[in-house]
Amino acid sequence: MNIRRFGVSVEENILSALDTYVKKHSFPNRSRAIRHLIKSTLVNEKVDENKMVAGAIVIVYDHHHRELNSKLMHVQHEYHDAILSTQHVHLEHDLCLETIAVKGKSKTLQELADRIIGTKGIKHGKLVMTDIE
């Protein structure tokens, strides 16, 4: 990876906010924070443009909820081409956490996540997407 240097002019309050951001997120320097912010913006554009991305759907649920496992499995089979793997973890006796690794067009992944997270019995869920280039 080639690193290129360039100068950036910003107002004092923006620079101060950047320094606060660097400290809050433990970046080693401003350059790393700026790279992170630029990359995040570019990933968001890919998501908005329905490009290929990868990600993870993380859900928390009570596995004793009636027919929930069957419903989740049904949805996952409908989207088998977008699902790379799943990991199931027992947090407590009744509470489970599942991580579903996914890859595909951003709108398909969002649709899949909405179907899973919207299933009755899911306590919490979130989709995170990232660039695959």
First to last CA, the chain: 13
DSSP state of 54: E
What's the rounded Cα separation, in Å, for the pair 106 and 112? 10
Domains in the chain (CATH in brackets) are 12-48 (1.10.1220), 52-131 (3.30.70.1150)
What's the rounded Cα separation, in Å, for the pair 50 and 95? 34
Q: What is the chain's pLDDT, residue by residue, as a tens digit (133 residues)?
A: 788 888 889 999 999 999 999 999 999 999 999 999 998 898 888 888 899 999 999 999 998 888 999 999 999 999 999 999 999 999 999 999 999 999 999 999 999 999 999 999 999 999 999 988 7
User: What pTM was computed for the model?
Assistant: 0.82
